[in-house]
Structure 1
Amino acid sequence: MQGTIVAAYGKRFQVELLDKKRISCVTRGKKTDLACGDMVTIKLTDKHEGVIESTLPRKTLLYRSNAFKSKMLAANVTQIIIVLATQPSFYEALLNRCLIAAEAANIKALIVLNKCDLADNDDAKQKLALYTNLGYQVLSLSAKEDISTLRPYLQGHASILVGQSGMGKSTIINALLPDEDVRTREVSHVLDSGKHTTTAAHLYHLDEHSQLIDSPGLQEFGLHHLSTDELEHAFIEFRPYLGKCRFNNCKHLQEPDCAIKDAVAANTISADRLATYQMFRTEISH
């Protein structure tokens, strides 16, 4: 039997079959390298329970990682929606980490600035001007007041919502899917992990061709799963200059005649983005 993982709670998963029936599943042995959005084959062990036998090939896979382990956030997504807010102020390094992970996984990124109904939002919008100039789509809205401007961006996509706690992801989910709150609690109860709902990922169907995965609130987003080559290529504004430095193995740190640093000096590349790259490179090299 084939289905899609629509909820992931540690070592337990809820799989939606092709007929929309949902089965609570475990994996064989200690295998837990599965994510929400994975397409799997299962074998029933009871009327409503089963074992995941295999994973079908993935189109995309979104990771985060630290020096010791990596965590899969979602599989087969076509878009990452990074939710920020005017208040509380967002962590720009986390935004950059999400963008880099998306680029490395070849997943389209959309930045959503929520809570724009609050009066003091100029600082947040000013911060995001850099990313608009880089070509990223930035959408300003207030999920509490009107979610309609977001809907066209979701059409035809398998999207994942990511963001720090407090940015309003839950408000967005509730506005898009007002009937899903009860169902989420029911799933948590069925998988015997109601107290862990904030650490679980859920996949929701917006319509026949559009899905939305809600991921737990992020406080960190490590990039240790990336190579240094993947990292520099994920900074999209670096790409025209890669391979043009004096040294083939230029790290864009202290080397002379670095094309990236020359572009910063010419105001073609943001000094802040170069500093962010250098911080990330040092981090993943240790």
Structure 2
Amino acid sequence: MGKHRKLNKGQLRRVRANQQKRLQQNDLEQELDDASLGGAESGIIVARFGQHAIVANDEQQNFRCNIRRGIESLVCGDEVVWRRFTGQSANTEQGVIEAVQPRRSLLSRPDYYDGVKPVASNIDQILIISSVLPAFSTQIIDRYLVACEDIDITPVIVLNKADLLTDIEPAQREEIEAALTMYKDIGYEVLSVSAKTNGGLTDIKTLLQNQVSIVVGQSGVGKSSLVNALLPDIDADVGDVSSNSGLGQHTTTVATRYPLPDGGFLIDSPGIREFALWHLDETRVAWCFIDFRPFLGQCKFRDCRHQPQDPGCALQQAVEAGDLHPLRLYNFHKIIESMASSKPSRAIPRGSKK
């Protein structure tokens, strides 16, 4: 391939003149844009759709806004500075998002193709929804717990369809109850509810008050039914968003923030059905098992894999002494095995942090 020819002085002058003209035009468009905007207001992102977002003001009114090009990342729950159009707009946009405030927390989801993608911000707690049917699984719960501990957001374990406990085999019921007791002993909040009978909803509503929460769960656990029970007017709310933004039909596919009747906010994100963990390394996963922490660093060998055949393993010794539940160590190894098989070839694990 031949070398590029250098521009002569005349060509350089023309290039610089064209660049300056474009800058002046952009400045003029910015001035005209600013002239049609009101003063700065605070708001929170209800949902984002491509280059537009729904912003709720302090009175919980929703506005569809453009997003300034300089904003690199914007997700549901972000606190923003925005300005509304004061004149008659020819399009459906009602304002412009100018800036994003620093986030207190950020929930991200590893994506096989796009890396770690932000989903929602400024969350106080994550509700991990499990159920009696389909089959209750501590392995799935532990995967969610690792994801919560990694991003330092409080998890709450919720057993839905608790009314079915009386319909299953006694051995299966005892297994579920023992597992829930195990999580309580570790220190996690555990609730049993039934979206069908409304059993336990008072407890969960109390837990949600004045908090920003998001629900996650596998298909079939009744997550949507629980969300509808907690948000009885969600269809009306979606309609309001649609009338304001023209984008209500998308609220079932993106993270959407709803005010709760008794205070607080609930983020419904149908896309968060599971968290991949391949972006973490093995030591980070072990640290995210909070009941492992008293024993980490005490193994005889630094590269201990915590298997039964590893001599001087502090975790294995803790299990034998009754200080660590064997199910948790078993689930840890199953997670490590699954990470190796699901990790994209180009993925770079995130290092350990404490």
Q: Is TM-score (shorter-chain normalized) higher than 0.5?
A: yes
Partner of 2:285: 231
1:178 to 232, 238, 248: 232
- In 1: Cα distance, 2:136 partner to 2:272 partner: 11
Tell whether 2:163 aligns with 1:103. Answer: no
Partner of 1:243: 297
Structure 1 21/141 Cα, relative in aligned 2: closer, same or farther at 3 Å?
closer
Structure 1 30/191 Cα, relative in aligned 2: closer, same or farther at 3 Å?
farther
- In 2: Cα distance, 1:76 partner to 1:13 partner: 17
- In 2: Cα distance, 1:90 partner to 1:54 partner: 43
2:79 to 18, 34, 39: 39
Letter of the 1:276 partner, please give it: N
Letter of the 2:330 partner, please give it: A
Shift in Å at residue 9 of structure 1?
A: 3.9
Letter of the 1:164 partner, please give it: Q
Shift in Å at residue 235 of structure 1?
A: 0.3
Letter of the 1:140 partner, please give it: S
Higher strand share: 1
Give 3-state SS (helix, strand or coil) of 1:74's partner: strand
Higher helix share: 2
Partner of 1:257: 312
Partner of 2:119: 73
Tell whether 2:184 aligns with 1:129. Answer: no
Tell whether 2:107 aligns with 1:62. Answer: yes
Identity level (%): 40
Shift in Å at residue 189 of structure 1?
A: 6.6
Q: How many residues align?
A: 286
CA contact (8 A) 2:42 2:58 kept: yes
Structure 1 38/176 Cα, relative in aligned 2: closer, same or farther at 3 Å?
same
- In 1: Cα distance, 2:119 partner to 2:291 partner: 26
CA contact (8 A) 1:11 1:32 kept: no
Show CA shifts across 1:135-167 (max 9, x none).
Answer: 212111212222222111112211111112322
Shift in Å at residue 106 of structure 1?
A: 1.9
Structure 1 101/145 Cα, relative in aligned 2: closer, same or farther at 3 Å?
same
- In 1: Cα distance, 2:134 partner to 2:263 partner: 34
Show CA shifts across 1:209-248 (max 9, x none).
Answer: 5211112154431123434443222101101011211234
Partner of 1:269: 324
Give 3-state SS (helix, strand or coil) of 1:148's partner: helix
Shift in Å at residue 26 of structure 1?
A: 4.2
* TM-score, L = length of structure 1: 0.85
- In 2: Cα distance, 1:150 partner to 1:243 partner: 37
- In 2: Cα distance, 1:77 partner to 1:131 partner: 22
Shift in Å at residue 96 of structure 1?
A: 1.4
- In 2: Cα distance, 1:266 partner to 1:66 partner: 39
- In 2: Cα distance, 1:157 partner to 1:258 partner: 40
CA contact (8 A) 1:86 1:120 kept: no
- In 2: Cα distance, 1:11 partner to 1:91 partner: 39
Structure 1 10/133 Cα, relative in aligned 2: closer, same or farther at 3 Å?
farther
Give 3-state SS (helix, strand or coil) of 2:251's partner: helix
Letter of the 1:271 partner, please give it: P
CA contact (8 A) 1:88 1:166 kept: yes
Tell whether 2:167 aligns with 1:120. Answer: yes
Structure 1 31/216 Cα, relative in aligned 2: closer, same or farther at 3 Å?
farther
Partner of 2:241: 187
Structure 1 225/193 Cα, relative in aligned 2: closer, same or farther at 3 Å?
farther
CA contact (8 A) 1:202 1:215 kept: yes
RMSD: 2.9
2:94 to 35, 49, 57: 49
Structure 1 29/165 Cα, relative in aligned 2: closer, same or farther at 3 Å?
farther
- In 1: Cα distance, 2:142 partner to 2:272 partner: 13
- In 2: Cα distance, 1:31 partner to 1:228 partner: 34
- In 2: Cα distance, 1:54 partner to 1:251 partner: 46
CA contact (8 A) 1:42 1:53 kept: yes
CA contact (8 A) 1:246 1:258 kept: yes
Give 3-state SS (helix, strand or coil) of 1:243's partner: coil
Bigger radius of gyration: 2
Residue ranges of structure 1 left out of the alignment (5+ in a row) = none
CA contact (8 A) 2:55 2:64 kept: yes
- In 2: Cα distance, 1:150 partner to 1:190 partner: 31
Residue ranges of structure 2 left out of the alignment (5+ in a row) = 1-40, 350-354
Structure 1 167/217 Cα, relative in aligned 2: closer, same or farther at 3 Å?
farther
CA contact (8 A) 1:43 1:53 kept: yes
Give 3-state SS (helix, strand or coil) of 1:256's partner: coil
